[in-house]
Amino acid sequence: MKLEELKIVFVVVGLIGVLLFASPALSLVVHLPAGEEFSELWVLGPEHTAADYPFNVSADVSYLVYLGVANHLGESAYYNVQVKFRNQTDELPNGTADTPSPLPSLYEYRLFLQDGQSWEQPLNFSFLQVSTGQNTSMVGGLTLNGVTTGVYKPNVWDEENNGYFYELFMELWIYNVTSDAFQYHNRFVGLILNMTSTS
C-alpha cells in the first residue's frame, strides 16, 4: 500500500472515530423527528382482558372492570379520567368537534404519568333503585368504587334491540398549563349495559 493510500485510510478511520465519540453530543443539537405522540385510554374486563365485559346488568349487583391510561406524549402529563352515565338519548363526546359530553362527571381519577408510564385501576360499579314498567325504565342511583350518587336516569324501551340500554363511559382529560385547567383530550371508552332485568 502506498503512503498516499494509507493517509486516506487513516483520515477515514479518524473521521469515523470522531463521529462515534461525538454522537452523544450531536443528539443534544440534532433532533430527529419523534414518533407519534399520544395518550391511551382503555377498559378491560374483570380478568384484565378485552373479554367478559358486563352487559346484562341488574340492580344491587356489583360489577368490576379495569380502567387504564398510558402516556406516550414525550413528556409528563397530569390526567383526569371522568366517569359519566347516559341513556340512549344523552350526548356522547364529539370526536369531530373535540368536545366532551355535557353530562356531569359522577366520579374522577386524577393521575400524573411520566412519558412511557401507564396506570390501571379497578372500577367497581352497581345500580340502585332500578324500576321498569310501561316501556320505560329508571335508574335512581349509581355506586362507583363505593361512592353513591343519585342519577335519576330514565330510558325508553329499544324495540329494535329489545332492551333498556344505558352506557357507562369514561372521558380522558389532560391538564393544560397555559389555561391552568383540565381540557378534554378527545378520548373516551364506554360500556353498553342492558338494564332489562332488574333482579
Residue 188 to residue 186: CA distance in whole angstroms: 7
Asked if residues 144 and 83 have their Cβ atoms less than 8 Å apart, the reply is: yes
As a residue count, the chain comes to 199
pLDDT for the residue numbered 119: 98
Residues of the chain whose pLDDT is less than 70? 1-34, 197-199
Separation of CA 138 from chain center: 28
pLDDT for the residue numbered 135: 92
Sequence ranges of the domains in the chain:
1-32, 38-194
Q: What single letter denotes the amino acid at residue 89?
A: T
Place of cell 368490576: 64
pLDDT for the residue numbered 95: 87
pTM of the shown model: 0.81
Considering the domain delimited by 38-194, tell me its CATH architecture: Sandwich (2.60)
pLDDT tens sequence across 149-188? 999 999 999 999 999 999 999 999 999 999 999 999 999 9
pLDDT for the residue numbered 14: 57
Beta-bridge partners for 158 = 163
pLDDT for the residue numbered 44: 97
